[in-house]
Amino acid sequence: MKALKTALIAGSSGLVGSQLLSDLLADQSIERVIILVRSPLDIRNNRLQQVVTDFERLDTIAEWFKGVDAVFCCLGTTIKKAKSKEAFKKVDYEFPLALATLSEQNNVNHFLCITAMGADVASGIFYNKVKGEAERDISKKKIPCITFFRPSLLIGNRKESRPGERIGIFIARILGFLFIGPLKNYKGIRIEKVAKAMHAEAQDPQPGLRIVLSGSMQ
């Protein structure tokens, strides 16, 4: 498969995306890293190109997908932050699908996307259902390699305060030893491990559809 020389990231200011950006820039074999941002990040690197993007009009920056080997979709929000189910679905379904469409149109070799452990179109939980719908519809795109990453509870330093999630992370750390065997996929996972898994998969792309579960990223 084609070597990873040019990468594009959507969601580079997020929890996993920011770590992934750091990892890719540290990899000297990658010649160019493009990030789609709402406003420029305070990062300087001669291999980094920041593209100020209106995610409602992704078609206007389609030219940046030309010559890209791998597109990383690290977009994600919460219903609380988005303030409505409709706004949540726009970030976690519509934008990733639009990115996949642009990847298909511009002959990108590999599309890598973070979803969630519970991703399932038949789920009664809205969050998991939307993640499942994103996987289903992105999978239909004619992209040589598509990889979905389903992390469990993400452990890292968040910019915004999420009290309930902090409690969950605290409990997950204390009871982590219980998550063995079939339960290993539900053990809280450090963002560094998710980013590392995405980086590794992009360096060794496998044709077709792959789903990487949280336990495999540990």
Known catalytic residue at 186:
no
Residue type, 105: Q
Q: 88 near 79, Cβ under 8 Å? A: yes
Residues 6+ apart with CB under 8 A from 35: 8, 9, 10, 12, 21, 41, 48, 49, 50, 51
Helices (H), 79-144: 79-82, 85-89, 95-105, 126-138
Options 89, 129, 131, 187, the catalytic residue:
131
**Per DSSP, what are the bridge partners of residue 129?**
none
| Length of the chain, in residues | 218
Q: DSSP label at 12?
A: T
Known catalytic residue at 131:
yes
Q: DSSP label at 150?
A: E
| Angle, CA 217 vertex, CA 186 and CA 73 arms, to 5° | 100
| Cα-only R_g, the chain | 17
Strands 145-150 and 48-52: unpaired
Options 127, 141, 184, 186, the catalytic residue:
127
Q: DSSP label at 94?
A: I
Catalytically active residues, by annotation: 127, 131
